[in-house]
Amino acid sequence: MANILDILKKTIEDVQVKNQKDKNVETADPSIFDLLRSEVTKLDHKHQNKQMQKGKRNPKSILDMIKDGIDGVRKQNKKDPNVATAPKSVFDDLIKKIGQKQQKLASTGLKKIVEDYNLNIEGMPNEVLNQIQTQYQDDLKKFNHQYASAIHNLIRNNKR
């Protein structure tokens, strides 16, 4: 868990540096990035204390929880009259980076399927392959969520 959270902290730093250097976009208040780091720290503490899904009906993936945290900071920033609203690109860049991890997993999975089944995809248009990858990614997420929910229910039932 710490690995993905460490990567996210580094990504927050990278987005902050990019935002500061981009002359075409207003520089976000540093407190926004502090709030984002704080959200990551909260997730890390929850994970260490095994409180990730207490009292929840359905488990969420860590990536979904991170996205929720980013959206929470975005909403908090919009409501705070004392801090200028950060450019949309700051939050979008973070969410994009998180999505890239999921896309990489899907891409790796598809490559394995092509290899395992000895499929010849030469000449397939990139648009078609991208559609297949998107569908695979969605199906994989649903599949993983089903297993996570089943395990979550087993854990909850065994505590009784």
Domain count, the chain: 1
Domain holding 35, by residue range, is 2-158
Both ends of the chain: CA-CA distance in Å? 27
pTM: 0.68
Q: Residues 6 or more apart from 31 whose CB is under 8 A from it?
A: 83
pLDDT at 53: 57
Specify whether the CB–CB gap between 90 and 11 falls below 8 A: no
Q: Which is higher by pLDDT, 48 or 144? A: 144
pLDDT at 54 over 60: no
C-alpha distances in Å from residue 51, one per residue of 55, 56, 59, 71 = 9, 10, 11, 21
Q: What is the arithmetic mean of pLDDT over 126-134?
A: 89
Q: What is the pLDDT of residues 57-102, one digit of tens each?
A: 667 777 788 888 899 999 999 999 999 999 988 899 888 887 777 6
